Amino acid sequence: MPAAQERTARAVWRALPYEEWQDTRATLHLWMQIVGKVKLKLSPFLNQWWEVALEVTPRGMTTGRIPYQDKAFAVDFDFLAHTLALTTNKGQEQHLLLRPCSVAQFYQEFLSALAALDIHVTITPVPSEVAHPIPFAEDTQHASYDSGYVTQWWQIQLRSSLILDRFRTNFRGKSSPVQFFWGSFDLNTTRFSGKRLPDRTDWPKGYSFMRYAENEENFTCGFWPGDERFPHAAFYSYLYPAPAGCETIDTGPASSYFHTELRECILPYAEVRRAQDPEGEILDFLETTYRQYAGLAGWDLESLTGLVPVLA
């Protein structure tokens, strides 16, 4: 890759070394869970929990509209100005500054901001999908906020969301929007084969929600900034339930591979940054793993693939 092109790619796709922002990542994850749990509590259920997800915006992330009694409100993270805005259809507003503070303090300030808008909601006050959860009101351990890394993470999310939108275009079946799940802290989209799965009630403690999240055969892919199990940002894909032989599938780009412990296909973000065509590398990974997985699972690829219109 020519040096000039590599510099351009690295300027667009900024570095996100896990070890340098892991404390901020952990704190932000918990803040976003607090906001997300309010949306979960007040929004009517939509298949596979789509109603709980956040959406990437040109400045951050939003809950979108949330119903509450005779009003609607939204909560918006602005990762350029580093503020949190709560707004209602009645013209009411509350704003919080995103800065280093504990989860306990953020929790209190956020609930107070809701109360100032005459919105009163009780959420499950313990984080989900994290190891060793601490009740929000008691968590003074997580209190980091590096605004530079938060902006870089969000910019990757934004660019990734646009690529995932492109990936969705030629699929004719049921597919999810490109959405951010605050529990697993990842951006993803899901394609469904149309096959329902047997009802499972044996999910591990804390993961009972998977009974409704994984009740249909699906291919899921997206971007994930990593966690303690896998401390690296990466694009990923998997099919549930995993078909026989998926461990040896072609994953596309030379740097991608099947991770035997995570049971997912992985395209390391650090390798994407080095690619001559990062967007092409990501799309190759998504398209290749989709077709490989779907082929093993016996999906009707022809009927599920549609034409993309060319607009004048």
Which parts of 82-240 fold into alpha helices (H)? 103-116, 147-168, 210-213
pLDDT at 235 over 80: yes
pLDDT tens for 30-84 read: 999 999 999 999 999 999 999 999 999 999 999 999 999 999 999 999 999 999 9
Q: Which of 138, 172, 200 is the last residue of a domain?
A: 138
Number of Cβ within 10 Å of residue 303's Cβ equals 10
Q: Higher pLDDT residue, 148 or 11?
A: 148
The residue written with tokens 């951006």 in the block is 187
Q: What is the pLDDT of residues 86-117, one digit of tens each?
A: 999 999 999 999 999 999 999 999 999 999 99
Same domain, 96 and 213: no
Q: How far apart are CA 226 and CA 68, in angstroms?
A: 34
For residues 173 and 98, state if they share a domain.
Answer: no
Tell me: do 101 and 152 sit in the same domain: no
Tokens of 104: 């306990």
Q: Which two tokens stand for residue 229?
A: 């199990």
> HSE of 12 in the Cβ direction (CA atoms, 13 Å)?
16
Specify whether 289 is located in the same domain as 155. yes
Same domain, 75 and 199: no
Domain count, the chain: 2
Residue 5 domain flag? no
Span 113-124, average pLDDT: 98
Task: Please indicate, yes or no, whether residues 223 and 282 belong to a single structural domain of this protein.
Answer: yes
Indicate the residue type of 297.
A
Helices 147-168 and 278-297, axial angle in degrees (round to 10): 50
What pLDDT digit, counting tens, does each position of 144-193 carry?
999 999 999 999 999 999 999 999 999 999 999 999 999 999 999 999 99
8-22, 91-105, 187-201: segment of lowest average pLDDT:
8-22
Residue 132 and residue 169 in one domain: no
For residue 137, the 8-state DSSP code is G
Last residue of a domain, one of 85, 118, 138: 138
Q: Which parts of the chain fold into alpha helices (H)?
A: 3-12, 18-42, 103-116, 147-168, 210-213, 269-274, 278-297, 301-304
| pLDDT, tens digit (0-9, with 9 covering 90-100), for 240-298 | 999 999 999 999 999 999 999 999 999 999 999 999 999 999 999 999 999 999 999 99
Whether the ω angle into residue 241 lies within 30 degrees of 0, i.e. cis, is yes
Reported confidence tier of residue 5, pLDDT bands at 50, 70, 90: low
pLDDT of residue 170: 94
Q: Any idea which residue has 């005779």 for tokens?
A: 70
DSSP symbols for 147-173: HHHHHHHHHHHHHHHHHHHHHHTTB-S
pLDDT at 296: 98
pLDDT band at 4 (very low <50, low <70, confident <90, very high): low
Q: Which of 138, 167, 199 is the last residue of a domain?
A: 138
Whether residues 169 and 119 share a domain: the answer is no
pLDDT over 60 (residue 8) = no
Q: Are residues 232 and 255 in the same domain?
A: yes
For the whole prediction, is pTM greater than 0.75?
yes
